[in-house]
Amino acid sequence: MKENTMPKKQIRLVTTNPGNEGFTLIEIMLASTILALVLLAMMSVTVQSFNMVRDTDERITAINDAQAVLNSLRAANVNASQFPGNVTTAFPAGTLDPPLDNLQNEAITIQYLDAAGNVDPTANPLFVNVSVRYSGPDGRAYDNIVLSTVLADF
């Protein structure tokens, strides 16, 4: 019998090293920790953004309330012969009564000044400051909203 002289083909199986089949537990824990820190930072920024939007909305409401009072003061100045009494009678100096209740603990104060900055509700022209004080949802007091105008008889 004659032997097969053809060389035998060797079949080589490619196998992977069992140690390189996936991620290690330490790699997964490290990636999870980094992801948690990034998500925590993003959540903090989101909460701060919501607080800023709420504060801005309250500030706009306070400015709108002060502007509404100034518009009412201008509307009360219809009779030049009675100025400034017609304005100061309709809106006495001090805290607006009844108060507007658009904001928590809102108080609107009206102050009448002369040209020198002295309190004088009989001055002509009449310098008017309308200030708004209110509390935010966190209980913090806000009192830096002041709008001013000048009224005179026509």
Count of alpha carbons within 13 Å of 112, Cβ hemisphere only?
A: 21
**pTM confidence score:** 0.73
Quote the pLDDT of residue 18: 58
Q: Tally the residues of the chain.
A: 154
Q: How far is CA 139 from CA 54, 89, 135, in A?
A: 14, 34, 5
Quote the pLDDT of residue 44: 95
Mean pLDDT (whole number) for 88-106: 89
Mean pLDDT in the chain? 87
pLDDT at 32 exceeding the cut of 80:
yes
